[in-house]
Amino acid sequence: AQSVTQLDSQVPVFEEAPVELRCNYSSSVSVYLFWYVQYPNQGLQLLLKYLSGSTLVKGINGFEAEFNKSQTSFHLRKPSVHISDTAEYFCARPLAQGGKLIFGQGTELSVKP
Amino acid sequence: EAQVTQNPRYLITVTGKKLTVTCSQNMNHEYMSWYRQDPGLGLRQIYYSMNVEVTDKGDVPEGYKVSRKEKRNFPLILESPSPNQTSLYFCASSFHGGPTEAFFGQGTRLTVV
């Protein structure tokens, strides 16, 4: 079965420091991957997506992720975080059909001043 | 503004008292889903619908019902809620069933006592 694993449940970091949130996926013929962000008391918002093409994907709010087929990873990075980036981040895998998303367990990013 | 609207945002109810959480989207999307979010488990799909009058079970359908009588609406029904259904619920919609972005509502926090 297709799966997504987020390796860190919580990531504390100081403001203006770089951050990496890790995501690994199970290998299959077709791989599509998303990162969503959930700010406190809000729904999920798409940060970026990989469907095909360039393995370096840029998203909103200065985030980017790299699709690595050999490592089966799709880690999310930001070179300098802000307090406003405090949120929960989900790596998700849309299935090719059926409109279903397979989610990782989520990573809480806490940015401290 | 394109959006998915859920109501209510917060709900406290007693075991066994039937309730309905409404979901409406204004993007003319074909696919709609319900997810529940629990700590450490990410989001799991409860039910989904591919179009009017077409619904199917997701990963955790027990204790839930859905209907899709109109394209824009996809209510979630708990006929006899139990405490293990205490959770954060999200409705989502997408244009088609392929690997495309899903748009999420703001969430409904349900507590069953």
In chain B, residues with a C-beta closer than 8 Å to the C-beta of A74 are none
SS3 assignment for chain B: CCCEEEECCEEEECCCCCEEEEEEECCCCCEEEEEEEECCCEEEEEEEEEECCEEEECCCCCCCEECCCCCCECCEEECCCCHHHCEEEEEEEECCCCCCCCEECCCEEEEEC
More confident residue, A96 or B8: B8
Preferred mutation among B104, B106, B108, B109 to probe A, highest tally of A CBs within 10 A? B104
pLDDT in tens, A24-62: 999 887 889 999 999 998 899 999 999 888 899 999 999
Q: What is the mean pLDDT of chain B?
A: 94
pLDDT at residue B100, rounded to an integer? 83
| Ranges A57-61, B38-42, B72-76, B96-100: which has the least confidence | B96-100
**Nearest Cβ partner for A90 among B32, B42, B107:** B42
Neighbours of A95 (CB within 10 A): 16
Condensed to tens digits (0 to 9), the pLDDT of residues B24-55 reads 999 999 999 999 999 889 899 999 999 999 99
- How many CB contacts within 8 angstroms connect chain A with chain B? 69
